[in-house]
Chains A and B, each alone.
Chain A
Amino acid sequence: MMINPVLRRELKTKLRSWKAPVLLMVYLIILTGFGGLVLLLTLYTSYDNSFNPQDTLTVYVLLAGCQMGLIILLVPALTAGTISGERERQTLDLLKVTKISSFSIIMGKLLASISQIMLMVLASIPVFSIIFIFGGVSLKNIALLFLYYIVISITLGSVGIFCSTYFRKTTVATVVTYLFILIFCFGSLIVYAIVQEFVYYIFSYSDGLTYFQSVLLIGGNPFLGFLSVIENQLGTDTLYYFLNAHNNPLNINIKLWQFNLVFNCLVSVLMIFLSVLKIRR
């Protein structure tokens, strides 16, 4: 079986440069430092100076949130220059005249960037394993969380590649990718708030939007998707109220994180499809 040559070369050149180990080191320092700090604060702020195993969950949530934040920050930087960089380096034409398809070029680029993120996520497992010492979080929980990281990385990565394909300069592509993700993360929240207010005050629907309408409107938000994964693991129900889950006349029981995963996959497919179309021209 032949490995995608773009992926093979990207991995080789990426890991050969000093940037990859430095990035990994900085990533782990931030994550470990943050985890350690949270652990210490939890220990010292308890009123009897003892460690409550229940606090492990707080450390887990904050650590997972920190990792999520780092992924959102890093993925655009790693993907937004992939195609525009080839264009700037004047190597894109040399790829396009070969027998390999545009889809393989895009997928090779995407997988190479995602592999780098996955390396960071895998390298963070020992940091997360601190939590296992105290218990409270199962392997299944961690596996679901890491699956979510993979899916969100692919989605954000495909947005980065899409921008990199459509914008000639890497700096422009990077800025637009971050803007895109900013709108993706906060724009949907603002739209949701406006629509909710609209429904309450204009139409005087006291119950507001139904659960399914809410999920449709805001279910793609990566922050809420992440929160839903965490809440599902902790058994808390903040999102239940936020999404008007009591107003569910159709009795649709899809969870927000489930919808979010499907939504992310669809966005990835669309972004990859558009990128392939653009590069083929």
Chain B
Amino acid sequence: MLEIKNLYKRYGKFLAVNNLSLSIAEGEIFGFVGPNGAGKTTTMKIVAGLLKASGGQVLINGINVISHPGKLREKIGYMPDFFGVYDNLKVDEYMDFYAGMYKIPYKDRPAIIDNLLEIVDLSHKRDAYVDSLSRGMKQRLCLARSLIHDPDILILDEPASGLDPRARIEMKEILKQLRTLGKTIIISSHILPELAELCTSIGIIENGQMVACGKVNEIMQQLTHKRIIKIRLLDKMEELIRILQEQPDIHNIFEKTDEVEFEFDGDDIRLSQLLKQIMEKDVLLTAFHEKEGNLEDIFMKITKGGE
């Protein structure tokens, strides 16, 4: 569906994007992760046709859109990280304006606008002035705007930035709904746990280079060789620690007041044997589970920060 090959973007001596390549299949939600200034927005702007690449190719269904910008605009819906709205313009007029900008015939517009406002849950605000909407509503309206021409690919640059937790959840629900509509979505965000839940694959970018790219689980497995097990208990902490220390496949035991965390090298059978052994010693447990690795862990392991 979307393929980026050896992409470069140079600003004078500074290389913002350095030989970046990635491939995103149809219907995927691709999370673009990286520290500030890593080159995420630059890459997204090149794919959206807003910036010219210094080198490389952006292919949509095999067509290089850098040399065919017209085709690119039909296929891509873009939502920037920061955007403004117009004064003295109502929600439905705002949508109608962008429908006009995509040359959608007048007769088709009401149905499209109704449908999109319903998706982003703004039907009740269609007569409100856009500048009077809350930040979350503006973000949702901008998302609806990016869908006005029914693009195959959506590029969303930090769609949840600056939103309160409720608005973030609402945005996430809308994106899940879009996934069911078969849209290919490229999304960047600093709120990594949200991406992990939403994305089918991720790309981690640092200093303009792709440092890891693939399915979330695959990257997680590559990086986290050891399993982290967490136990919560009511009593017999010393007994539990003694049992754990006797095990050859347990390392780095970390003790808190009513919790113990440790690294475990064994498989599921060994894990169940361990649980049985603890229960036989009458240790009263309230929880015994494997701690999920998350995107934040991966991100911190892969990226070097501002070094």
A86-100 Cβ-contact flags toward B at 8 Å (1 or 0): 000111011111111
A140 CB–B CB distance under 8 Å: no
B100 touches A2 (CB 8 A): yes
B9-45 Cβ-contact flags toward A at 8 Å (1 or 0): 0000000000000000000000000000000000001
B147 CB–A CB distance under 8 Å: no
Q: How far is the CA of A6 from the CA of B76 in the complex (A)?
A: 21
A17 CB–B CB distance under 8 Å: yes
A90 touches B82 (CB 8 A): yes
B126 CB–A CB distance under 8 Å: no
A138 CB–B CB distance under 8 Å: no
A98 touches B102 (CB 8 A): yes
Taking A2-B106, A93-B80, A281-B52 as contacts, is the C-beta distance between A98 and B87 under 8 angstroms? no
B78 CB–A CB distance under 8 Å: yes
A99 touches B83 (CB 8 A): no
Give, as a whole number of angstroms, the nearest-CB distance from A14 to chain B: 8
Which residues in window 139-154 of B have CB below 8 A to A? 142, 145, 149
What are the residues of chain A within 8 A of B93 when measuring CB–CB?
A: 9, 12
B72-101 Cβ-contact flags toward A at 8 Å (1 or 0): 011010101011111111000100011011
B102 touches A99 (CB 8 A): yes
B103 CB–A CB distance under 8 Å: yes
B46-73 Cβ-contact flags toward A at 8 Å (1 or 0): 0011101000000000000000001001
Can you list 7 pairs linking A and B with CB atoms under 8 Å apart?
Answer: A2-B103, A5-B101, A16-B88, A94-B98, A94-B145, A99-B70, A99-B101
B89 touches A97 (CB 8 A): no
Which residues in window 62-109 of A have CB below 8 A to B? 89-91, 93-100
Taking A91-B83, A99-B102 as contacts, is the C-beta distance between A8 and B97 under 8 angstroms? yes
B96-117 Cβ-contact flags toward A at 8 Å (1 or 0): 0110111101100000000000
Interface range, A side:
20 to 34
Across the interface, B97 reaches (CB within 8 A) one of A9, A90, A93, A281, namely A9
What are the residues of chain B within 8 A of A49 when measuring CB–CB?
A: none
Across the interface, B74 reaches (CB within 8 A) one of A3, A8, A95, A99, namely A99
Q: How far is the CA of A203 from the CA of B102 in the complex (A)?
A: 62
What are the residues of chain B within 8 A of A3 when measuring CB–CB?
A: 100
B100 touches A8 (CB 8 A): yes
Taking A9-B89, A13-B88, A17-B88 as contacts, is the C-beta distance between A94 and B83 under 8 angstroms? yes
Taking A8-B97, A99-B101, A99-B103 as contacts, is the C-beta distance between A94 and B80 under 8 angstroms? yes
By Cβ-Cβ distance, the 8 closest A-B pairs, closest first, are: A5-B100, A98-B101, A89-B84, A16-B88, A90-B84, A13-B88, A9-B97, A97-B78
What are the residues of chain B within 8 A of A8 when measuring CB–CB?
A: 97, 100
B86 touches A9 (CB 8 A): yes
B89 touches A12 (CB 8 A): yes
Give, as a whole number of angstroms, the nearest-CB distance from B150 to chain A: 13
B88 touches A100 (CB 8 A): no
Give, as a whole number of angstroms, the nearest-CB distance from A146 to chain B: 29
B101 touches A89 (CB 8 A): no
Q: How far is the CA of A84 from the CA of B302 in the complex (A)?
A: 40
Q: How far is the CA of A90 from the CA of B84 in the complex (A)?
A: 5
Quick one: closest B residue to A16, CB to CB? Answer: B88
What are the residues of chain B within 8 A of A5 when measuring CB–CB?
A: 97, 100-101
17 further A-B pairs in the complex, CB-CB below 8 A; given A90-B82, A91-B86, A99-B103: A2-B105, A5-B97, A89-B84, A89-B85, A89-B86, A90-B80, A90-B83, A90-B84, A91-B83, A91-B85, A94-B145, A95-B101, A97-B73, A99-B73, A100-B101, A100-B102, A100-B103
What are the residues of chain B within 8 A of A13 when measuring CB–CB?
A: 86-89
Which residues in window 147-168 of A have CB below 8 A to B? none
What are the residues of chain A within 8 A of B100 when measuring CB–CB?
A: 2-3, 5, 8-9, 100
What are the residues of chain A within 8 A of B78 when measuring CB–CB?
A: 93-94, 97
What are the residues of chain B within 8 A of A9 when measuring CB–CB?
A: 86, 89, 93, 97, 100
Quick one: closest B residue to A100, CB to CB? Answer: B101
What are the residues of chain A within 8 A of B149 when measuring CB–CB?
A: 99
Which residues in window 168-200 of B have CB below 8 A to A? none
Give, as a whole number of angstroms, the nearest-CB distance from B223 to chain A: 35
Q: How far is the CA of A97 from the CA of B45 in the complex (A)?
A: 10
Q: How far is the CA of A101 from the CA of B172 in the complex (A)?
A: 33
What are the residues of chain A within 8 A of B89 when measuring CB–CB?
A: 9, 12-13
Quick one: closest B residue to A17, CB to CB? Answer: B88
What are the residues of chain B within 8 A of A90 when measuring CB–CB?
A: 80, 82-84
Across the interface, A97 reaches (CB within 8 A) one of B48, B52, B82, namely B48
Q: How far is the CA of A17 from the CA of B86 in the complex (A)?
A: 12
Q: How far is the CA of A96 from the CA of B48 in the complex (A)?
A: 10
Q: How far is the CA of A95 from the CA of B101 in the complex (A)?
A: 7
B84 touches A98 (CB 8 A): no
What are the residues of chain B within 8 A of A12 when measuring CB–CB?
A: 88-89, 93
Quick one: closest B residue to A10, CB to CB? Answer: B86
What are the residues of chain B within 8 A of A96 when measuring CB–CB?
A: 49-50
Q: How far is the CA of A12 from the CA of B149 in the complex (A)?
A: 23
Give, as a whole number of angstroms, the nearest-CB distance from B103 to chain A: 5
B50 touches A97 (CB 8 A): yes
A98 touches B50 (CB 8 A): no
Quick one: closest A residue to B106, CB to CB? Answer: A2
Q: How far is the CA of A93 from the CA of B87 in the complex (A)?
A: 17
Across the interface, B87 reaches (CB within 8 A) one of A17, A95, A281, namely A17
